[in-house]
Amino acid sequence: MTDQTASLSAPVATGEAIANTRKVFIKTYGCQMNVYDSTRMGDALSSEGYVTTGTLEEADLVLLNTCHIREKAAEKVYSALGRLREMKKARNAQGQELMIGVAGCVAQAEGEEILRRAPAVDVVIGPQTYHRLPQALRRARAGERVIETEYAVEDKFEHLPPTEKKVIRSRGVTAFLTVQEGCDKFCTFCVVPYTRGSEVSRPLQQIIDEATRLAESGVREVTLLGQNVNAWHGNGPNGESWGLGDLLYRLAEVPGLARLRYTTSHPRDMDDRLIEAHRDLRQLMPYLHLPVQAGSDRILKAMNRRHTADEYIRLIERIRGVRPDIALSGDFIVGFPGETDEDFEATMRLIERVNYAQAFSFKYSVRPGTPGAELGFHVAEEVKAERLERLQALLLKQQHEFAEACVGKTIDILLEKPGRMPGQLIGRSPWLQSVNVDAKSSQIGDIISVRIIGTGPNSLFAEQTGS
């Protein structure tokens, strides 16, 4: 799953608070799956009388939903816990309660260490057990410091309450929907198999029911999530084996769902049926995040990616053959142990050949417990930094060129939120770009036709067309 660094936003309070209502502030770090998990933790806590709040100071419970994909992400959590400890001391001195919980992948990987380093923490709960959060909080109130990080035997999704329709509506016209969790690929740089467990797919009907509920509540666009989302598999209506492509064809039949996306994919799970879905489904947006990580076959083998650079490029050519307007996004790691100048140049050549509309790139960081941590021939930090600067400059150039190529095009955008100027609304292009448009006669949730008239650093500007 792509690490997108810490998101400091929290779900907004829903419903009218009453005097004895408890409030929870959820701070989400990392990937889109953590964003989804945070919303579902809020749903689970609703049975305990909690409503979510965007104001830390008014919270009775603070949850940090954490990411462990990089060392800095984990250290940010401990830094935040230090600040929360002081807040808890001040609250307790006034005879008031403040409970602190750590959820997500850092919780899974470092449960006992969290309790040792952060005595103010009441609950540590992993990504596969957050449906047990209400019970864990009750135990914590009784004086126990709770760790829930054993992989649950039960299906957590079956134990989570359905999200209220008014809550869904308050969250906007786009939504994430987790369909697959865990990873069996065991890339040597990655902690996901150890923090999220093995690959598990949600049942077809469970997914359809949730998607239908989202659509009935006003959601127009759904992004399917998974650590390896295109590894999703299930049984179709007649017991036949289905993959993600089949699932997308079925979701395209859900009334009200105008747009579909999915992330994050692995090249080895990109099968013919999924490629056909990109050809056939107007609801499936022409944007694909397909990480490659490196362009050197030697490094790809050391990473245990189980594909070559040429196989990746030929796959991209097949996808573009059925959907020429598709925009590609990727992930890159520079400075993997043993990476030579020649290996790095191979990555640069792959980027030049593929031409990405967007990408995420990082210096390699050692994650304890992964095979990569045992490798020798580590690349010097200054070399990593120089390579990353060059690689990001190329990716940024490609991103800007893609945006400039949009100018003059007439496209449909889904209006998602108000802009900063009166009458301005912000929507998303089919290629996931933010688009600013004066649309006084339209409203959030509408899909309107616009002509792109300019670009900004991270967005496009458009005017609404008459059609």
Cα–Cα distance for residue pair 148/107, rounded to 1 Å: 9
Two structure tokens written together for 3 = 């690490």
Positions of E strands within 293-334: 327-334
Distance CA 5, CA 73 (A): 7
Q: What is the DSSP string of 192-208?
A: HHHHT-S-EE--HHHHH
Quick check: 195 and 151 in contact, CB under 8 A? no
**Helices then strands, each counted (H, E), the chain:** 15, 21
Q: Which of 294, 348, 354, 351 is nearest to 319 (CA)?
A: 354
- For 27, 30, 31, 67, the CA distances from 7, given in Å and listed in that order, are 7, 7, 9, 11
At 218, list the tokens. 């006003």
What are the b/e assignments for 401-422, b being 16+ CB within 10 Å?
ebbeebeeeebebbbbeebeee
> Does the annotation flag 406 for ligand binding?
no
Q: Do 306 and 255 meet the contact criterion of CB atoms below 8 Å apart?
A: no
Question: What tokens were used for 411?
Answer: 């496209």
Strand partners, 242: 234
Q: 57-68 burial, b if ≥16 CB within 10 A, otherwise e?
A: eebbbbbbbbbb
Cα–Cα–Cα angle for 245, 180, 259, rounded to 5 degrees: 50
Pairing label, strands 410-418, 424-428? antiparallel
Strands 221-225 and 259-263: parallel
HSE-CB of 419 using CA atoms within 13 angstroms: 22
Token duo for residue 463: 């005017």
> Which residues are annotated binding-site positions for [4Fe-4S] cluster?
31, 67, 105, 183, 187, 190
> Which residues are annotated binding-site positions?
31, 67, 105, 183, 187, 190
